[in-house]
Amino acid sequence: MDVGIVGLPRSGKTTVFNAVTRGSAQVADFSGQSKPNLGVAKVPDPRLNTLAEIHKPKRVVAAEVRYADLPPPQEGFGKSRGISGEYLGHLQGTDVLMIVVRAFTDPSVSHVDDSIDPHRDAETMLLELTFADLETLEKRLSRLADGLKSAKTAERDAMNKERALLGRLKGRLEDGTAIRNQDLAPEEAKALAGYRFLTSKPVIVALNVGEDQLAEAGAMEAEFSGELASSGASAVVICGMLEMELAQMAPDDERAFRDSMAVGEPGLDRMVGLSYRVGDLITFFTGDEKEVRAWAVVRGTEALRAAGRIHSDIERGFIRAEVVSFEDLPRSGSLADARKRGVLRMEGKTYVIRDGDVINILFNV
């Protein structure tokens, strides 16, 4: 899954990126850069430790979430001038958007609007995503109208069907309903996939606070979550600067500092967990004496598609999957014992993967 981190200039989005990925991207000035900063975050999962104790593998590999710290938007962003060009392409290429809004105060770092107002900034960013989708819809509807004039009879039904669907989306968007909150039939959602609408993507609004605001973090997060509920976006509070500094420490030192300061759960863990939830991801596992690995897939993924996540040859030569739930495997001790106990199942290509499934795929190529 690819999470795009966006925000107004000097919102601290690169700092948040470094905190989440334990990265070291330059935070001073991103304005002259056209390419995103890229990084990955390992998904914390204690189930990997249990599987490692069973298999005694040579290596253990956690699932990953990919993050892209996108360059600042073009001049005029936030003034209803639209999103276009390379910046639009960056946004469309993500699965989830994380909008960083500034709540911290720092006299040495000016705000682009000369005042700190995270509610205003969140609304600005969400509105710009809506304007971008409306522009895309208007262009496509105009092309459909022109195309219908010369379309053959066989083409008209499909074009009229698409026109009706896009017109409905546009009307709801104009009324303030993001595409992710609109009721779409499965076939309609599939037909729209190629458009990569920005308001169809899950959104996280990350409220970037200062250390002096940590005591209020819970109340601020609850307030923001309530305000964003109607938009379908999720909210989280993070102290980007502190989390970035802690992320650079050795693990033992970081834990000791968190305990002494009562800082709580690492920002990386919170952000990755939230990214997982809004992206509707689950984890399945593979394991033997060579490697134990966690794999992230979208909820509802079938076994054949999950096989392709491991390797294209396994998907191509898929025969069947041996599946045992994580809860049953530790009680059995091994796949062989799980088979004897009757808790290991044989599943076919269309089996829908469940969170915690431990899978061995039989294939032939």
Cβ burial of 84 (10 Å; 0-12, 13-18, 19+) is: exposed
CB 93 within 8 A of CB 325: no
pTM above 0.95, yes or no: no
User: Strand, helix or coil at 322?
Assistant: strand
Domain ranges of the chain: 2-45+60-112+201-278, 130-199, 300-363
CB 30 within 8 A of CB 302: no
d(CA 264, CA 173): 39
CB 360 within 8 A of CB 345: no
pLDDT per position as a tens digit, 311-362: 999 999 999 999 999 999 888 877 788 888 889 999 999 999 999 999 999 9
- In this predicted model, which residue has the larger pLDDT, 74 or 88? 88
Cα R_g (the chain), whole angstroms: 23
Do 2-45+60-112+201-278 and 130-199 agree at the fold level? no
d(CA 297, CA 43): 13
Determine the pLDDT at residue 73: 67
- From the candidate CATH numbers 2.140.10.10, 3.40.50.300, 3.40.50.1980, 3.10.20.600, the one assigned to the domain spanning 2-45+60-112+201-278: 3.40.50.300
- CATH superfamily name and code, 130-199: Obg-related GTPase Ych/YyaF, coiled-coil domain (1.10.150.300)
pLDDT per position as a tens digit, 166-200: 999 999 999 999 999 999 999 999 999 999 999 99
Residue carrying the six token digits 């509707």: 280
**CATH number at 300-363:** 3.10.20.30
Determine the pLDDT at residue 109: 79
Query: What sections of the chain are H helices per DSSP?
Result: 13-21, 47-55, 85-92, 118-150, 153-174, 186-192, 217-228, 240-247, 251-261, 267-278, 303-310, 312-316, 328-332, 335-341
d(CA 107, CA 111): 9
pLDDT per position as a tens digit, 235-245: 999 999 999 99
Written as six digits, the tokens of 177 are 């309903």
